Amino acid sequence: MVNLSRKHERPDSRSGLGKTFGWHSNDIRGVCPNATQKKKMSEIFQFAWAVLQHWQALLTGGLVIAALGAFERKKGKPLSWKAFRWIAIAALFAAFYMAWHDEHESAMKATGSSVLKLQVVTLIQDLKAFQAERSDLESAAGGDWHVQEQTRQLFLDRFSRRLVRLSNDLPQSLVREGRLIREGAENPIGIGAGVVEQVVSPLQSVSASL
Give the model confidence (pLDDT) of 129-180 as tens digits: 988 888 787 777 776 767 777 888 888 899 999 999 999 999 888 999 999 9
Q: Determine contact, residues 170/116, Cβ cutoff 8 Å.
A: yes
Mean pLDDT of the chain: 78
Question: Tens digit of pLDDT for each residue in 20-51?
Answer: 444 444 444 444 557 788 878 888 899 999 99
Residue 145: per-residue pLDDT:
66
Say whether pLDDT at 14 is over 50: no
CA angle 120, 124, 129 (to 5 degrees): 150
Contacts of 163-170 spanning 24+ positions with Cβ under 8 A: 163/123, 163/199, 166/116, 166/119, 166/120, 166/123, 169/116, 169/119, 170/116, 170/206
Cα–Cα dist 47/169, whole Å:
30
Query: Which amino acid type is present at position 191?
Result: I
Answer whether residue 98 shows pLDDT above 50. Answer: yes
The model's pLDDT over 70-79, given as tens digits with 9 standing for 90+, comes to: 877 777 777 7
Give me the sign of the Cα torsion angle 67, 73, 76, 78. Answer: positive
Domain boundaries defined on the chain: 50-209
| Cα(106)–Cα(38) distance, integer angstroms | 21
What is the separation of C-alpha 75 from the centre of its chain, rounded to a whole number of angstroms? 52
